[in-house]
């Protein structure tokens, strides 16, 4: 097993994402394409958002088609002396065939698609976000607690489905990681989802030791401060279970119980609807216990695994739907009154965080949200939301108006 504590961070390994790296702004982005069809304020909003670097998603196509499409993007970015952020989103049974259903038909088809994706990049620079939700939603998966999770497609073999997912991701990590100027990041979900130990276990099974790090918060809204803490804990846990006490995921402190030396092991579940810190007076926001626990576990060993954070919509944090009466609030689906987060940058001021990125394209709809009602309107917005991936002028306006920090035009 590769020693994570001595692994080279992404920036040191190939200098793709270092604090001076310019991220590529795609002049043919879906955002600027939407702007061509809009007028007035809506057009100005789309043009403003399109002036920032956001990821380019690849979600389908034959191997020949994806190689051509990827090559076109990286060639143009290379001419602009900037690094493109590419999202590979084509796993079989992605999103458990729900809202973002699609993907390759089987493992062999996925591997061929990944080979073509890698060929499209070649020796040019690129940062690859490998399969959002790919480790958060795994078919027929039994987690560390011994619980069989909800994604159970009838057409898949329960005995092999989860192993196939890890086979697919390991193959993709190896194929993309073999490229000389590509950095690859795996899914670690976010602080409102998997606990730290479970996320770390899945990352190891998926090949994190051969990747450049992990990503957090894609298409979600968690506060940057909380993601920074969570990401540091995942990095610390990975280092602990590979360098200090192999396999001891259960000792990794996590957001669902904050006990540690600093609070005399009097832990609580942390509240995602406020910003966490070691000095917060509210114990549901105070992280001193968890951080002191990792200091105790790691001793002189430093966490070494890097990560990136999607800040495309998290300026106001997650939507607290607890005061609503919806049978299913769908708090992930076009929640109201959200704002942009930190603008895309590789100058993060944190040695473990390689970049703040806009991975989810801000201003594109999550889908037609019904929140447990018969519809067709989104009852929270009083309108029919655009289909997933289509431009949502009202949401784009909210994201700009409520950006934190304020967006620079």
Over the chain, what HEC string results?
A: CCCHHHCCCHHHHHCCCCCCCCECCCCCCHHHHHHCCCCHHHHHHHHHHHCCCCCEEECCCCHHHHHHHHHHHHHHHHHCCCECEEEECCCCCHHHHCCCCCCCCCHHHHHHHHHHHHHHHCCCCEEEEECCCCCCCCCCCECCCCCECCCCCCCCCCCCHHHHHHHHHHHHHHHHHCCCCEEEEEECCCCCCCCHHHHHHHHHHHCHHHCCEEEECCCCCCCHHHHHHHHHHHHHHHHHHHHHCCCCHHHCCECCECCCHHHCCCCCCCCCCCCCECCCCCCCCECHHHHHHHHHHHCCCCCCCCEEEECCCCCCCCCCCCCCCCCCCCCCCCCCCCCCCCCCECCCCCCCEEEEECCCCCCECCCCCCCCCCCCCECCCCECCCCCCCECHHHHHHHHHCCCCCCCC
Q: Where are the domains of the chain?
A: 4-365+391-401
Judged against a pLDDT cut of 50, whether residue 190 lies above it is answered with yes
Give the Cα separation of 73 and 141 in Å (integer): 35
The region of weakest confidence among 38-42, 84-88, 101-105, 240-244 is 101-105
Residues 395 and 316: their CA atoms lie apart, in Å, by 13
- The whole-number pLDDT of residue 103 equals 94
Residue 99 has pLDDT above 70, yes or no: no
Q: What angle do CA 237, 55, 48 make, to 5 degrees?
A: 125
Question: pTM to 2 decimals?
Answer: 0.96
| Span 326-370, pLDDT tens digits | 999 999 999 999 999 999 999 999 999 999 999 999 999 999 999
| Structure confidence at residue 5 (pLDDT) | 39
Quickly tell me which residue has 């910003």 as its tokens: 275
What pLDDT shows up at residue 49? 98
pLDDT band at 53 (very low <50, low <70, confident <90, very high): very high
253-263: string of b/e by CB count within 10 Å (b at 16+)?
bbbebbbbebb
- Copy the structure tokens of residue 176: 């993309």
Distance between the two ends of the chain, CA-based, in angstroms?
A: 48
| Degrees to nearest 5, angle at CA 303 with 298 and 308 | 150
405 is written with which tokens? Answer: 């920090």
Average pLDDT of the residues in 119-145:
97
pLDDT tens per residue across span 253-296: 999 999 999 999 999 999 999 999 999 999 999 999 999 999 99
Average pLDDT over residues 47-65: 98
Residue 1 pLDDT = 34
Give the integer Cα–Cα distance in Å for 334 and 395.
8
Q: What is the mean pLDDT of residues 361-386?
A: 96
Work out the pLDDT band at 97, boundaries 50, 70, 90: low
Average pLDDT of every residue of the chain: 95
Around Cβ 65, how many Cβ atoms within 10 Å? 14
In terms of CATH, what superfamily is 4-365+391-401? Answer: 1, 4-beta cellobiohydrolase (3.20.20.40)
Identify any residues that bridge with 383 across adjacent strands, giving them in sequence order: 378
Rounded CA Rg of the chain: 21
Q: Are 118 and 178 in contact (CB under 8 A)?
A: yes
Q: Which residues, listed in sequence order, are joined to residue 86 by a DSSP beta bridge?
A: 56, 128
Sign of the four-CA dihedral 186, 48, 366, 116: negative
């Amino acid at each position: 097993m590769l020693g994570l504590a001595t692994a080279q961070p992404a920036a040191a390994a190939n200098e793709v994402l270092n604090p001076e790296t310019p991220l590529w702004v795609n002049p043919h982005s879906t955002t600027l394409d939407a702007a061509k069809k809009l007028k007035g304020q809506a057009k100005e909003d789309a043009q403003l958002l399109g002036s920032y670097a956001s990821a380019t998603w690849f979600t389908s196509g034959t191997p020949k088609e994806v190689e051509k499409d990827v090559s076109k993007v990286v060639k143009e970015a290379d001419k602009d002396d900037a690094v493109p952020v590419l999202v590979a989103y084509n796993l079989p049974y992605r999103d458990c065939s729900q809202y973002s259903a699609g993907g390759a038909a089987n493992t062999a088809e996925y591997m061929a698609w990944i080979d073509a994706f890698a060929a499209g990049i070649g020796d040019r620079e690129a940062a690859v976000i490998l399969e959002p939700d790919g480790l958060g939603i795994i078919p027929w998966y039994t987690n560390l607690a011994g619980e069989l999770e909800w994604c159970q497609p009838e057409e898949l073999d329960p005995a092999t489905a989860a192993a196939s997912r890890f086979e697919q991701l390991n193959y993709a990590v190896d194929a993309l990681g073999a490229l000389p100027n590509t950095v690859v990041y795996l899914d670690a979900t976010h602080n409102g989802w998997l606990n730290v130990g479970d996320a770390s276990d899945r990352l190891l099974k998926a090949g994190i030791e051969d990747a450049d790090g992990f990503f957090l918060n894609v298409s979600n809204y968690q506060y940057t401060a909380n993601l920074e803490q969570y990401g540091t804990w995942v990095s610390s846990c990975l280092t602990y279970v590979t360098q200090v006490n192999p396999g001891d995921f259960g000792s990794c402190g996590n957001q669902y119980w904050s006990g540690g030396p600093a609070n005399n092991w009097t832990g609580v579940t942390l509240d995602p609807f406020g910003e966490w810190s070691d000095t917060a007076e509210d114990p549901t926001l105070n992280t001193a216990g968890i951080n002191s626990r990792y200091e105790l576990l790691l001793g002189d060993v430093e966490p070494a695994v890097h990560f990136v954070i999607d800040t495309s919509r998290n300026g106001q944090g997650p939507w607290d739907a607890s005061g609503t009466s919806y049978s299913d609030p769908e708090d992930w689906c076009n929640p109201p009154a959200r704002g942009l987060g930190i603008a895309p940058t590789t100058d993060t001021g944190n040695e473990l965080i390689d970049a703040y990125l806009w991975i989810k394209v801000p201003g594109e709809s999550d889908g037609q949200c019904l929140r447990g009602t018969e519809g067709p309107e989104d009852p929270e917005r009083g309108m029919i939301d655009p289909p997933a991936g289509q431009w949502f002028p009202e949401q784009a306006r909210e994201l700009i108006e409520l950006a934190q920090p304020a967006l620079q035009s």
